């Protein structure tokens, strides 16, 4: 597990800490590194948990599309933790792992449908600073998904930005979740070499 975060992980203690560690181990097989970093401010940690729990109940938009959107935002931001966890969760939730693996190089990949490509483009456009979503792209997604699903996808990608930017700013990196369950490495965008 990487331990070169910008804020050193705190020891997770107490009754609440025991619950946090137990839940993390049940979900991921280990204690996720951001938990130790965020343990310094439990109010922020609880807020992040609440957002994650509430957003996991949203069901107006296809789970694969939300997963791809989340990973596209994380890839553009450079959050290796989010990509690692997203790939791992796609596997555990029965989503399309072959496509999830290709998200970092979605423009070059031939596995995505036109709708999925629009979702990936939308997620990246939302993630730009300032956001670069066009009326045309939004209209195509509205026609294909409907208003409830588009609102949900938009909020989900916004949450991905929140989590990814937090992790990158705090120096949290991938933890090997995907490799722990035998998933092949994520594809890399064309022209980007491995940082081994």
Render pLDDT for 176-193 as a digit per residue (tens, 0 to 9).
Answer: 998 887 888 888 876 544
Q: What whole-number distance in Å separates Cα of residue 135 and Cα of residue 28?
A: 39
Render pLDDT for 140-161 as a digit per residue (tens, 0 to 9).
Answer: 999 999 999 999 999 999 999 9
**Residues 96/148, Cβ–Cβ less than 8 Å:** no
Predicted TM-score (pTM) of the model is 0.91
Q: What is the mean pLDDT of the chain?
A: 93
Render pLDDT for 13-44 as a digit per residue (tens, 0 to 9).
Answer: 999 999 999 999 998 889 999 999 999 999 99
Q: What whole-number distance in Å separates Cα of residue 131 and Cα of residue 123?
A: 10
**Residues 1/30, Cβ–Cβ less than 8 Å:** yes
DSSP state for residue 104 in the 8-state scheme: G
> For position 179, what pLDDT does the model report?
86
Render pLDDT for 75-104 as a digit per residue (tens, 0 to 9).
Answer: 999 999 999 999 999 999 999 999 999 999
Render pLDDT for 114-131 as a digit per residue (tens, 0 to 9).
Answer: 999 999 999 999 999 999
Confidence of residue 3 (pLDDT cuts 50, 70, 90): low
């Amino acid at each position: 597990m990487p331990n070169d975060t910008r804020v050193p992980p705190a020891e997770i203690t107490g009754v609440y800490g025991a619950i946090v560690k137990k839940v993390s181990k049940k979900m991921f097989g280990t204690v996720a590194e951001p938990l130790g970093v965020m343990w310094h401010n439990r109010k922020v940690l609880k807020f992040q948990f609440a957002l994650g729990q509430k957003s996991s109940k949203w069901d107006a938009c296809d789970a694969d599309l939300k997963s791809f959107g989340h990973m596209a935002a994380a890839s553009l931001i450079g959050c290796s933790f989010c990509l690692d966890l997203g790939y791992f969760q796609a596997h555990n939730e029965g989503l399309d792992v072959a496509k999830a693996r290709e998200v970092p190089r979605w423009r070059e990949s031939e596995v995505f449908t036109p709708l999925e490509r629009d979702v990936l483009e939308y997620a990246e456009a939302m993630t730009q600073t300032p956001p670069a979503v066009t009326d045309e792209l939004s209209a195509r997604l509205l026609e294909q998904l409907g208003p409830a699903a588009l609102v949900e996808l938009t909020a989900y990608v916004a949450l991905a930005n929140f989590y990814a930017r937090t992790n990158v700013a705090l120096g949290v990196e991938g933890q090997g979740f995907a490799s722990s369950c035998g998933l092949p490495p994520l594809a890399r965008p064309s022209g980007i070499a491995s940082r081994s």
